[in-house]
Structure 1
Amino acid sequence: MSTRPEPAVSPVIVVAAAAALLSLAMGLRQSLGLFTQPLTTDLGIDVAEFTLAIAVQNLAWGVFQPLAGGLVPRLGFRNIMLIGAALYITGLLGLSMAWNPLTIFLTAGLCIGPAMGFVGTAITMSVASRAVSPQRRSLTLGIISAAGSAGTLYAAPLGQTLTQMIDWRAAMTGFAILAALMIPAAILAGRIDRQPLPTATPGGSDSLSGRDALKKALSTPPFVIMAAAYFVCGMQLIFLTTHLPSYLAICGMDPMLGAQALALIGFFNILGSLFFGWAGGRWNKMVLLGMIYLCRSLILAWYFHDLPTPQSTLLFAALMGFLWLGVGPLVAGSVAEMFGLRWQAMIQGLAFMSHQFGSFAGAFGGGWLYDHMGNYTLAWQLGVGLGLFAGIVQIATALATPRPPAPAPA
């Protein structure tokens, strides 16, 4: 009795589907800051009560991402991503019907947060890493990261338009309908489960158990430094996505300016992700990471030092956007080079957990400082100082660490 051969896995379909999945996941969650003012005003709650849910969301994302990566060898990418899509849709629908801080905490925090762990950067970039050759991996990871950035281009204007035309609940329902597209994207990207692992990386962790792979990662100094610097990255970025629209409203700017700034960040994020994906295949990835942290911090200091104008806000959004998710392909590529592909999602998720602890500090800490001090001054000053320190340490560590051998030309 003959058996029907397995159809070949198309790298183009897998990468495109993974990119679409990350685009939806990142675009929708990065636009939640638009609802800070209308939601808190409508429900009569403090800003810190809403930002606590966003902070817990980021923390849960960080905790569940290495867990999801560790489950991939057992459950497969497709099942992991479908679980995340279902949680995401549930969280958005529940948030559209929220009536008090507890329901916001349960939906925005404890549904969308774990969902991001199952459909976020570590999972989608691991899918893309397996679908392409090592020579094309860095640029492909840049493409995936760029897709995550592109999500803000349509999600932020959609959310702001629906909020102004109807209300924030209608906008959240629209987000839930858009999130339903995650399901076919997860099914298509999950085709990578049919493809066997490529040849193991010399000195990597492909032959190790999950526990031993984690031990190896935590005993590798360059990885530990990279993960620690990732904390500051999360703190800076989530502070902006959560509090920039509120900051602009406090300064008397047009509410649509916040949506325009987030959309502009998303557009230039595409360019930056592609550039750093390309650059990571040619230069030291960890040096590039340190340079991103330094440049971001200097731009933050320039923008928040004076009162914003529409022109300075849009320029700031463009500059920050170029430096936003460029860290994604650099971190993912570094993890693949150091540890191989079998446990890439789990180890990259471990690094990202540090990023999300920083996100918790940026989202909740920014709201807490604002409620207690009446402004965001100390919040941005802390972000600048820690960013400069992280960038210097990251570059120094990179220069003191021998680079892994480059892949042979395709």
Structure 2
Amino acid sequence: MKISPLALLLLAAGAIVSLSMGVRHGFGFFLPPMTQAFGWSRETFALALGLQNLIWGASQPFAGAFADRHGPGKVLVAGGLLYALGLALMTVSSSGWLLSGSAGLLIGLALSCTTYSVVFAVIVRAVPANYRSSAMGITAAAGSFGQFMMVPIERGLIDGLGWMPSLLVLAAVAALMVPLAAPLQRAYRQAPATPPAAHGVLQSIVHAFGDAWQQRSFRLLMAGYFVCGFQVVFIGVHLPAYLRDHGLAGGVASTALALIGLFNIFGTYSFGRLGERYSKPYLLATIYLARSITIVLFLLLPLSSMSVAVFAAVMGFLWLSTVPLTNGVIVGLFGVGNLGMLSGAVFFSHQVGSFLGVWLGGLIYDRTGNYDLVWGMAIALGVAAALANLPVKETPVLAAGSQA
């Protein structure tokens, strides 16, 4: 049976995001063995992963802008190779500085080349406008499936082989993203052309971002995405250690992260579909508020394997459901011509939040011996993000020089 070009595009895009997001979601399992092997504090490991998120966000607009202008092929190939190299070098990163170079710099750059902004820049060009939200939801759901698939695999690799051989296996897995770039580049070439940029890459970024920044809705969207990054990366990295500190077996943490990935498949797809019918800003506000309520209940109820599973399932449903909605609002405001760059700019705000979430988690734990203050920050920020998204508009504006 012949696969349609659109189906092949979504399969390849989903596989890339699944591998890229799936591998990184298991990094929390490397925290205990690596800190014990090298005598680090949790802050040392958390700082490297925080740097990873910050570099990912800072380089994302440039990766997205290059993909907007020249297609995603070279960007994705470079990302796959950097990902594999960063994972391999983690095995010899015996100091905090070396870990920041491998897990932080290299993998941060790799993630900017292999995740949503670059992939969505192709999808919104190749998919009819009335199906864009669903297509982005399907692709984001693939990232969730990657978490569901890779988290137990990474846990099993560490238990069976040890942390160092596991990183080498994951490096080989990351290299699989390189051949998957071809269908996306082909779809980019065959998609309807967008007006050529009037400036170079750097000038285009400055010009498009400057126009977008004048819009209050864009600024509020960035503020909300900051909170998204803070919450999910803090939980994704520190939840295994938090559960171990409270006496729960390591299998509970791996099950929790797998459940987050599993239910995120349904959440991202469902909210992608809902975004075609209902206000995306209102849906975003609902997600952020629901996250805060879920965290409050998780902390108030007695901690058990069952409460962890319920928490993971609910948070999983809300986990990356912000991704198709946020990118859908950007398309509604500014069109598709600069989506890769503008999505990357908003994502930078997300990654600043991610950096603070993972780093403050390690720092505050080392200072206080618990995560209570960071949990409280995650709750308060969720409420603030819900309020920030309520006034966001989706009305198209003549900015960023793009076509709808």
Counterpart of 2:323 in structure 1 is: 328
Counterpart of 2:176 in structure 1 is: 181
Counterpart of 1:51 in structure 2 is: 46
Counterpart of 2:133 in structure 1 is: 138
- TM-score, normalised on structure 2? 0.93
- Establish whether residue 102 from structure 1 lines up as the match of residue 97 from structure 2: yes
What SS class does the counterpart of residue 180 from structure 1 fall into? helix
Counterpart of 2:161 in structure 1 is: 166
| Mapped contact 1:9–1:194 kept (Cα < 8 A) | no
In structure 1, C-alpha distance between the alignment counterparts of 2:288 and 2:68, rounded to whole Å: 33
Shift, 1:196, TM fit: 4.0
- Establish whether residue 84 from structure 1 lines up as the match of residue 79 from structure 2: yes
Judging changes above 3 Å, is the alpha-carbon distance between structure 1 residues 340 and 197 closer, same or farther for their aligned structure 2 residues?
Answer: farther
- Establish whether residue 126 from structure 1 lines up as the match of residue 121 from structure 2: yes
In structure 2, C-alpha distance between the alignment counterparts of 1:402 and 1:363, rounded to whole Å: 32
One-letter amino acid matched to 1:379: V
Judging changes above 3 Å, is the alpha-carbon distance between structure 1 residues 313 and 232 closer, same or farther for their aligned structure 2 residues?
Answer: same
| Mapped contact 1:88–1:179 kept (Cα < 8 A) | yes
Counterpart of 2:357 in structure 1 is: 362
In structure 2, C-alpha distance between the alignment counterparts of 1:17 and 1:381, rounded to whole Å: 39
Q: Pick the aligned partner of 1:392 from 367, 383, 387.
A: 387
In structure 2, C-alpha distance between the alignment counterparts of 1:276 and 1:313, rounded to whole Å: 23
Q: Pick the aligned partner of 2:375 from 374, 380, 390.
A: 380
Judging changes above 3 Å, is the alpha-carbon distance between structure 1 residues 269 and 207 closer, same or farther for their aligned structure 2 residues?
Answer: farther
| Mapped contact 1:14–1:190 kept (Cα < 8 A) | no
What SS class does the counterpart of residue 177 from structure 1 fall into? helix
Judging changes above 3 Å, is the alpha-carbon distance between structure 1 residues 206 and 11 closer, same or farther for their aligned structure 2 residues?
Answer: farther
| Mapped contact 1:227–1:354 kept (Cα < 8 A) | yes
What SS class does the counterpart of residue 181 from structure 1 fall into? helix
What SS class does the counterpart of residue 249 from structure 1 fall into? helix
| Mapped contact 1:36–1:50 kept (Cα < 8 A) | yes
Shift, 1:333, TM fit: 1.0
| Mapped contact 1:15–1:127 kept (Cα < 8 A) | no
Counterpart of 1:30 in structure 2 is: 25
Counterpart of 1:69 in structure 2 is: 64
Shift, 1:82, TM fit: 0.8
Shift, 1:27, TM fit: 0.5
In structure 1, C-alpha distance between the alignment counterparts of 2:179 and 2:110, rounded to whole Å: 16
| Mapped contact 1:206–1:339 kept (Cα < 8 A) | no
Q: Pick the aligned partner of 1:281 from 268, 276, 283.
A: 276
1:303-360 deviation per Cα after TM superposition (whole angstroms, max 9, x unaligned): 1234521000000000000000111100111111111112100001000000000000
Shift, 1:252, TM fit: 0.9
- TM-score, normalised on structure 1? 0.92
| Mapped contact 1:25–1:119 kept (Cα < 8 A) | yes
In structure 2, C-alpha distance between the alignment counterparts of 1:211 and 1:392, rounded to whole Å: 28
- Establish whether residue 261 from structure 1 lines up as the match of residue 220 from structure 2: no
Counterpart of 2:335 in structure 1 is: 340
1:76-104 deviation per Cα after TM superposition (whole angstroms, max 9, x unaligned): 21011111111111001111232222221
Counterpart of 2:292 in structure 1 is: 297
Shift, 1:44, TM fit: 1.1
Q: Pick the aligned partner of 2:348 from 347, 350, 353.
A: 353
Gaps (5+ residues) in structure 1? 1-7, 406-410
One-letter amino acid matched to 2:188: D
Counterpart of 2:209 in structure 1 is: 214
- Establish whether residue 270 from structure 1 lines up as the match of residue 249 from structure 2: no
| Mapped contact 2:333–2:395 kept (Cα < 8 A) | no
One-letter amino acid matched to 1:186: A
In structure 1, C-alpha distance between the alignment counterparts of 2:192 and 2:67, rounded to whole Å: 12
In structure 2, C-alpha distance between the alignment counterparts of 1:155 and 1:308, rounded to whole Å: 25
In structure 1, C-alpha distance between the alignment counterparts of 2:242 and 2:394, rounded to whole Å: 43
Gaps (5+ residues) in structure 2? 398-404
Judging changes above 3 Å, is the alpha-carbon distance between structure 1 residues 402 and 142 closer, same or farther for their aligned structure 2 residues?
Answer: closer
Counterpart of 1:4 in structure 2 is: none
In structure 1, C-alpha distance between the alignment counterparts of 2:332 and 2:198, rounded to whole Å: 15
Shift, 1:166, TM fit: 2.3
Counterpart of 2:401 in structure 1 is: none
Identity %: 37
In structure 1, C-alpha distance between the alignment counterparts of 2:394 and 2:361, rounded to whole Å: 38
Name the stretch that deviates more: 189-198 or 11-20: 189-198
In structure 1, C-alpha distance between the alignment counterparts of 2:106 and 2:79, rounded to whole Å: 9
- Over the residues paired in the alignment, what is the CA RMSD in angstroms? 1.9
| Mapped contact 1:285–1:334 kept (Cα < 8 A) | yes
One-letter amino acid matched to 2:67: V
What SS class does the counterpart of residue 243 from structure 1 fall into? helix
| Mapped contact 1:122–1:348 kept (Cα < 8 A) | yes
What SS class does the counterpart of residue 229 from structure 1 fall into? helix
One-letter amino acid matched to 2:251: M
In structure 2, C-alpha distance between the alignment counterparts of 1:194 and 1:299, rounded to whole Å: 44
In structure 2, C-alpha distance between the alignment counterparts of 1:356 and 1:75, rounded to whole Å: 25
Shift, 1:40, TM fit: 0.7
Counterpart of 2:34 in structure 1 is: 39
- Establish whether residue 314 from structure 1 lines up as the match of residue 306 from structure 2: no
Count of aligned positions: 391
1:25-80 deviation per Cα after TM superposition (whole angstroms, max 9, x unaligned): 00111110111111111211111000000000000000011011122244421011
In structure 2, C-alpha distance between the alignment counterparts of 1:9 and 1:274, rounded to whole Å: 21
